Amino acid sequence: MLDPDLARSEDLAALINASPSPRLACKEVARRLSQEGFQELEDRDSWADVEGGWFVRRAGSLHAGYEPPNLDKASGFRLLGAHTDSPNLRLKPKPDSGRAGYRQLGVEIYGGALLNSWLDRDLGLSGTVWVDGDSQPTALDFHFDEPLLRVPQLAIHLHPELRKEGLKLNPQQHLSPVFGLGAQREGTFKEWLCDRLELDPEDTLSFEIMTHDLTPACLTGPNKEFLSAPRLDNLLSTWAATMSLLECAQKGAERATVITLFDHEEVGSGSRSGAQGPHLRQILERLILQRGGQREDYLRALADSVCVSADMAHAVHPNYADKHDPHHQVALNGGPVIKVNQNLRYASEGETQALFELACRKAEVPFQKWSMRSDMACGSTIGPLTAMNLGIGVVDVGCPQLAMHSAREFGGSADPGWMVAAMSAFCGAGQG
């Protein structure tokens, strides 16, 4: 039975549409938190007066939390983890290229993108430009949600081997988007970008720019049972963690709730804003210190903490059912998926699985369990990194989807709301 309140999935679609880049995803989450009275903090400032809801941003990552009043100094945390980045095509520092009278842009593949899914799509641009702000770099985020680029596929008449060998794409040769007509020279794109943003090219220092599919996220199917969208992996989990945090603040959770939305998961998390970096543990220690606790209290709090690592899960594909373990069949609109891997590609343990199962039962939502075929390797998440860096219990979960890492992915419309309910119950919302 589908969740009758599809407004939640419509709200998720709105967040996805506003978030083509990790920094813009953080900006959208920050906007929603600020509307509910959450206080933005800066890493360089004192956190001595943190009360209630707070959030802090670092590049494409955001961490936020709710601190109930009168917490014990060593009281632990309920953490909800996700990531803000998705595979895509990102512009190179010197993007101007082209041949045969076409202006093109040089791109690099970010993460494990399904390359064929980026062909024959109208693409927009988003990202950040750093400009000289009185001898200091100032970041300017932008979002061009209009058809600016396209990677046309070679006509089948010119590609006879396609029928026998299948599509083979070389990222350097075959994925440079067409940007216009005419002679290409170095600096053309920068001039165009500065003109659009009304910037002086002399003051423009650097940029991080990526492409995105222009088709908006939407509910589909005869009964709106599906969600068709770019970046479900992993903005769905980012949205769910944010909504759960707001519910914890509104209903009054007994424990401190923290959401941790990392960048760079798709490329290994090895950055200052990724899950391998120190930012999360620094934040948690500062929260203990502002309660008046000491290092001993921080370590005790970690021993009393547990994390839900939320990333997407593989639903059974009807055209490739043999790619799935026959005893672990995951369905769209079947509820949150608990992901288990005996080689610790996921961090789920028996105890943490049980905790999440209890949360699902309390919230009265269905849940599923998933394990990869024994003859295939699975991906990983921020879960093992969080368990390793903090030494806390972690359970890896996710909403089921199809077409993971495609420019456009496919999920169920009931699952997002069920994930919010399960996360909120896990964090103890309504128990205060």
Judging by beta carbons within 10 Å of its beta carbon (0-12, 13-18, 19+), is residue 198 exposed, middle or buried? exposed
**Mean pLDDT, rounded, of the chain:** 95
**CA–CA gap between residue 121 and residue 211 (Å, rounded):** 11
Q: Are 95 and 45 within one domain? A: no
Indicate the number of domains in the chain. 2
Domain boundary among 161, 182, 213: 213
User: Of 213, 245, 262, which marks where a domain is finished?
Assistant: 213
**pTM listed for this prediction:** 0.96
Residue 343 lies in a domain: yes
What are the pLDDT digits (tens) for 95-112?
Answer: 999 999 999 999 999 999
> Could you tell me if 98 and 155 lie in one domain?
yes
* Whole-number Cα distances in Å, 114 to 285, 304, 305, 405, 408: 39, 40, 37, 6, 10
- For 410-431, the pLDDT digits (tens) are 999 999 999 999 999 999 875 4
For 37, 40, 293, 319, 366, the CA distances from 52, given in Å and listed in that order, are: 9, 11, 17, 49, 31
Report the candidate in 387, 279, 239 with the shortest Cα–Cα distance to residue 61.
279
What CATH number should be reported for the domain holding residue 145? 2.30.250.10
Q: What is the pLDDT of residues 32-44, one digit of tens each?
A: 999 999 999 999 9
Tell me the average pLDDT across 129-153.
95
Do the domain assignments include residue 432? no
